[in-house]
Amino acid sequence: MKELIKQLVPGIKALTDGIKTTGHIPVAGTPIEMPFTLICGTKQGKDILITGGVHGGEYPCIETAIQLAKELDPKEVAGTVLIIHPVNTAAFLARMQYYGPYDGKNLNRVFPGKATGTVSERIAYVVHQLQKEADFFIDLHGGDIHESLIPFVIYSNVGSKEVSEQSRQAAALLGFPYVVGSVSENGSIGGAATVGTPGFLAELGQCGRWNQDEVEQYKAAVKNVLRSWATIPGQVHTHQVEYLERMLVATALHEGCWYPEVKLEAKVTKGQKLGEIRDFFGTKLSEYHAEGDGIVLYLVTSLAITANDPLYAIGVQAAK
């Protein structure tokens, strides 16, 4: 991890054990520079990569990454912890949901990226190079500007069974109520899993807002995971969580006005109507039904909706 940072960041000084280094990782061929903090511990240990702000409007995770970077003491750290805070600086400053301002792409849908691609693809490519060097990857997310959600964690089933199981067990240590598997290959954790790096994507926060209580909850959860690898000292706390088999995401067929008919954490059954899209005259354009039995994990709250945007996600409970 340290050697790759030296290659990516021009003019960086020697990365010494027991020292915390801050700076910006440039994304070649773009105006993007990702602020980072590298904590080099005094003892041997794992290389951990933590990212916050892949989506620019998810504020609790970004502030959590910033505060973690300030609080972690290299004298107490084993191994190295690299924190990027935030990843998608342009989207953050533009107050954009999902997409980047330069290419209109969703950064979390273009992994592993392309070295000579669009801006979002180039950002993903740089992060993916860091994923390859890491022993574990933590991607912090939250309720975007137009999303409500209950805290949950996604781990990847794309890689080997061993990597998947490491990811699943670590995800449970956050203490969020639900842990769900994913088979997506173009997201951040799918990109990590394809190169054998275990990890998870965490979700905490509501509708583009943040408060310190949420940040404290998020920091405590991440630190518990770090303690499980002896990256930082302290007792590891175990939690009761519900494991979900997969996530069903519905996307909009039309632009217009979105009217959900369920609430967060509602238990729904296959075929149940969950909402509809109407035009600007109140005429129904399309309606949406649950594709399976499960629990509503997140729900778009904005009246405005555009075609192909997510509407909601259902976590499917494992068959008994």
53 within 8 A of 75, measured Cβ to Cβ = no
Q: Is the pLDDT of residue 13 over 90?
A: no
The predicted pLDDT at position 164 comes to 97
| Same domain assignment for residues 67 and 146 | yes
| Same domain assignment for residues 180 and 286 | no
Helix axes 212-228, 59-71, angle to 10 degrees: 60
| Same domain assignment for residues 28 and 171 | yes
Q: Among residues 211, 240, 269, which one ends one of the domains?
A: 240
The predicted pLDDT at position 256 comes to 98
The predicted pLDDT at position 45 comes to 97
Single-letter code of the amino acid located at 291: E
Q: Is the pLDDT of residue 189 over 70?
A: yes
The partner residues of 251 in beta bridges, in order of sequence, read: 310
For residue range 40-61, what is the model confidence (pLDDT) as tens digits? 999 999 999 999 999 999 999 9
| Same domain assignment for residues 115 and 259 | no
For residue range 164-174, what is the model confidence (pLDDT) as tens digits? 999 999 999 99
The predicted pLDDT at position 317 comes to 85
| Same domain assignment for residues 281 and 235 | no
Q: Among residues 222, 240, 258, which one ends one of the domains?
A: 240
Q: Among residues 198, 222, 240, which one ends one of the domains?
A: 240
The partner residues of 200 in beta bridges, in order of sequence, read: 138, 155
For residue range 220-258, what is the model confidence (pLDDT) as tens digits? 999 999 999 999 999 999 999 999 999 999 999 999 999
The predicted pLDDT at position 318 comes to 75
Query: CATH no. for residue 280?
Result: 2.40.50.100
Domains of the chain: total? 2
For residue range 86-116, what is the model confidence (pLDDT) as tens digits? 999 999 999 998 999 999 999 999 999 999 9
User: How many CB atoms lie under 10 A from the CB of residue 162?
Assistant: 10
| Same domain assignment for residues 87 and 106 | yes
Arithmetic mean of pLDDT over the chain:
96
| Same domain assignment for residues 283 and 213 | no
Q: Which of 258, 131, 147 is nearest to 206 (CA)?
A: 147
| Same domain assignment for residues 260 and 278 | yes
The partner residues of 224 in beta bridges, in order of sequence, read: none
Q: Is the pLDDT of residue 320 over 70?
A: no
| Same domain assignment for residues 66 and 206 | yes
Three-state SS annotation for 206-267: CCCCCCHHHHHHHHHHHHHHHHHCCCCCCCCCCCCCEEEEEEEEEECCCCEEEEECCCCCCE
Query: CATH no. for residue 67?
Result: 3.40.630.10
| Same domain assignment for residues 214 and 260 | no
Strands 78-84 and 43-52: parallel
Confidence of residue 14 (pLDDT cuts 50, 70, 90): confident
| Same domain assignment for residues 235 and 304 | no
Helix (H) or strand (E) segment spanning residue 128: helix 119-133
For residue range 129-166, what is the model confidence (pLDDT) as tens digits? 999 999 999 999 999 999 999 999 999 999 899 999 99
Phi, psi (rounded to 5 degrees) for 132: -60, -30
Domain, as residue range, for 133? 2-240
| Same domain assignment for residues 250 and 105 | no
Phi, psi (rounded to 5 degrees) for 201: -115, 120
